[in-house]
A = this chain, B = another copy of it.
Amino acid sequence: MSEPKPTGPAGANLLFLREGEIRAAQDMLFFAYRDFTNAADVILEELGLGRAHHRVLHFVGRNAGMSVGELLSILNITKQSLARVLGALIDDGYIAQAQGRADRRQRLLTLTAKGQDLERRLFERQRERLVKSYREAGSTAVEGFRRVMRGIMNEEARLYIDRAEARTQADRAEARRDPTREG
C-alpha cells in the first residue's frame, strides 16, 4: 500500500523494516517477555506472591533507599495498586520503610535480609535464562539487543535506564581495578 520502500535514503539496506520483520518483532516481544517473567513464578506461587510483588522487590533492590513516589513513577501504576503489594511485602518482612531525613514525609524503601534473599532467588531464575541467551548470542548481539530495547521504550524509561547504566559502568570500572569483586 503506502509502505515506505524497502530501500531508504542513500540506498541503505533497510529490509529489516519490512512489515514481516516488524510483525516478527511483535511475536518475539510477546513470547520472550512471557517466558522470561514466567521463570520466577514457581517461587512466587509458593509464597503466595505475584509478579507485581517481584517487580517491587526488583526495583527496590536496585534502588535501595528510594521513596514510594519514585517507585510509583518507575512502575507507572497508581498509588492504590502499589499499596496492595507493597503493604504485603512490608507485612511479610521483605521490605523495610524508613522516614526520610531530608524530607520526613517520605518513606524510604529498602530490602530486608529476608527480602534480599528472596529477590536473589527470583533473580537467579531469570538470570539463567538471560545468561544462556546472552552467551549463545555473543557480545555484538547483546549490544544490538540493548540498542533496540532502548529505542522501544519511552523517553522517561530510557532516562531511568541511563542512570542505572551509569551505576553499572561504575561497577565495571571498579572491577577493572579490582577484578576479584563482582558488584
- Within 8 Å of chain B (Cβ to Cβ): is A177? no
A171 touches B133 (CB 8 A): no
- Within 8 Å of chain B (Cβ to Cβ): is A139? yes
- Identical copies in the complex: 2
- Of B145, B150, B182, the residue contacting A18 (CB under 8 A) is B182
Interface residues of A, CB < 8 Å — how many?
Answer: 75
Q: Which of A145-183 contact B (CB under 8 A)?
A: 145-154, 157-158, 160-161, 164-165, 167-168, 171-172, 175, 179, 182-183
CA distance A164 to B6 in the complex (A): 20
Contact status of A134 and B17, CB under 8 A, knowing A160-B31, A161-B28:
yes
- Within 8 Å of chain B (Cβ to Cβ): is A91? no
CA distance A16 to B129 in the complex (A): 14
Among listed A33-41, A80-88, A103-111, interface-contacting one:
A33-41
Please report A residues at the B interface, Cβ cutoff 8 Å: 1, 3, 6, 8, 13-36, 55, 58, 62, 76, 123, 126-127, 129-154, 157-158, 160-161, 164-165, 167-168, 171-172, 175, 179, 182-183
The 8 closest A-B pairs by CB, nearest first: A144-B144, A133-B151, A141-B144, A31-B157, A20-B168, A145-B148, A31-B153, A137-B147
